[in-house]
Protein backbone atom coordinates (compact mmCIF):
# COMPACT_ATOMS: atom_id res chain seq x y z
CA UNK A 1 0.00 0.00 0.00
CA UNK A 2 1.42 3.45 -0.91
CA UNK A 3 2.36 5.70 1.98
CA UNK A 4 1.46 9.01 0.25
CA UNK A 5 4.95 10.37 -0.34
CA UNK A 6 6.17 11.75 -3.63
CA UNK A 7 9.58 10.46 -4.65
CA UNK A 8 11.78 12.74 -6.73
CA UNK A 9 9.46 15.75 -6.57
CA UNK A 10 12.13 18.37 -5.87
CA UNK A 11 12.23 19.48 -9.51
CA UNK A 12 8.59 20.58 -9.19
CA UNK A 13 9.33 22.47 -5.97
CA UNK A 14 12.30 24.25 -7.55
CA UNK A 15 10.23 25.09 -10.64
CA UNK A 16 7.43 26.49 -8.48
CA UNK A 17 9.87 28.68 -6.52
CA UNK A 18 11.51 29.87 -9.74
CA UNK A 19 8.17 30.80 -11.31
CA UNK A 20 7.16 32.62 -8.13
CA UNK A 21 10.46 34.51 -8.01
CA UNK A 22 10.15 35.60 -11.65
CA UNK A 23 6.56 36.70 -11.08
CA UNK A 24 7.45 38.71 -7.97
CA UNK A 25 10.43 40.31 -9.71
CA UNK A 26 8.24 41.34 -12.65
CA UNK A 27 5.62 42.75 -10.27
CA UNK A 28 8.15 44.80 -8.30
CA UNK A 29 9.79 46.04 -11.51
CA UNK A 30 6.39 47.13 -12.80
CA UNK A 31 5.51 48.78 -9.49
CA UNK A 32 8.81 50.65 -9.38
CA UNK A 33 8.36 51.82 -12.96
CA UNK A 34 4.83 53.07 -12.28
CA UNK A 35 5.86 54.86 -9.09
CA UNK A 36 8.77 56.50 -10.90
CA UNK A 37 6.42 57.62 -13.67
CA UNK A 38 3.97 59.12 -11.16
CA UNK A 39 6.82 60.88 -9.34
CA UNK A 40 8.13 62.40 -12.60
CA UNK A 41 4.68 63.81 -13.47
CA UNK A 42 4.67 66.07 -10.38
pTM of the model: 0.69
What integer pLDDT is reported at residue 6 of this predicted model?
Answer: 78
For 7-41, what is each residue's pLDDT tens digit?
A: 888 999 999 999 999 999 999 999 999 999 998 87
DSSP secondary structure string, the chain?
A: ---SPPTT-HHHHHHHHHHHHHHHHHHHHHHHHHHHHHHHH-
Q: What is the DSSP letter of 27?
A: H
What integer pLDDT is reported at residue 1 of this predicted model?
Answer: 65
What integer pLDDT is reported at residue 5 of this predicted model?
Answer: 81
Q: Where are the domains of the chain?
A: 13-42
Amino acid sequence: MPDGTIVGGWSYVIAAYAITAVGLAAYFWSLRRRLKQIHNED
